[in-house]
Amino acid sequence: MKKILLLLGCIILINQSLKAQSFPEYKKEVYQHKGDTLLYRILFPEHFDSTKKYPLLFVLHGSGERGNDNEAQLRNGGKIFLNDAFRKQHQAIVIFPQCAKESYWANAITTRDPKTNSLTSVVFTTNKQPTQAMHALENFVKHMIKNDYVDKDRVYVGGLSMGGMGTFELLWRKPKVFAAAFAICGGAHPETAKKYAKRVPMWIFHGGKDDVVLPKYSEQMVQAIKDNGGSPKFTLYPNANHNSWDSAFAEPELLKWLFSHKK
């Protein structure tokens, strides 16, 4: 009997833990339009008033969070925007879209180690035809900023790993939309930087020991942005491997810096 009670107790604790990680504050939604389908979670400010205008932030997840559960994309970064201090200081709308398992945010040709599944190389392209996920995301961004409650001068994007790559690509495809952006352990084709280098302030992060997405991909983009007249912020964590997003999201100035920018 004691073993049964103990087992039931464990099940309850597990269920409570899973429920706590589901982030119910983020409303589950689905965007569908002309063949595009994009799952997303949206967090509205406390005391949201549709007659007012709010900043809007899109956060793009990494490849490990792809799928169709509309939950995994909140795994890295979801908690940050639920922080009481953030919610009081920044009355913002935060959206985490989810990339389908079979797609990718960016046009990147990746090679993986069959044993570890780690990336061994990434080749970024300037293909004008977006991936299925990026096509849906572009149309979704366009759809969201049409809402009267969105401050069109304060729209932002950021992402990690595959989402960092997607951030660079989204800026390239829609350079006039965003007021500022951050990219964590990502990368892109250097030629794409000229579209947004002068227009969109960026903060780029990477781990110095990253052996999944090599630091050189961020370093190349930092240099490309500078070469095209931009002034990006760049933070390299010397001892961090691929998971540099925990350090980046812990930066006390990141969100303050991001939301300080207007078009």
SS3 track for 42-59: EECCCCCCCCCCEEEEEE
176 is written with which tokens?
A: 């006039």
What's the rounded Cα separation, in Å, for the pair 194 and 117?
A: 33
- Kindly list the distances between the CA atom of residue 101 and the CA atoms of 17, 20, 243, in Å, as whole numbers in the listed order: 25, 24, 21
Q: What does the angle CA 230 – CA 232 – CA 236 come to, to the nearest 5 degrees?
A: 150
List the pLDDT tens digit at each of the 263 positions of the chain. Answer: 444 434 434 433 334 334 435 799 999 999 999 999 999 999 999 999 999 999 999 999 999 999 999 999 999 999 999 999 999 999 999 999 999 999 999 999 888 778 776 667 889 999 899 999 999 999 999 999 999 999 999 999 999 999 999 999 999 999 999 999 999 999 999 999 999 999 999 999 999 999 999 999 999 999 999 999 999 999 999 999 999 999 999 999 999 999 999 99
Inter-helix orientation angle 162-173/132-144, to 10°? 60
What's the rounded Cα separation, in Å, for the pair 137 and 83?
A: 26
pLDDT the model gives residue 50: 97
- Kindly list the distances between the CA atom of residue 227 and the CA atoms of 202, 209, 218, 223, in Å, as whole numbers in the listed order: 14, 25, 14, 6
* Contact indicator for 255, 86 with CB cutoff of 8 Å: yes
Q: What is the pTM of this model?
A: 0.90
pLDDT the model gives residue 39: 98
Could you tell me the domains of the chain? 24-259 (3.40.50.1820)
* Contact indicator for 243, 209 with CB cutoff of 8 Å: no
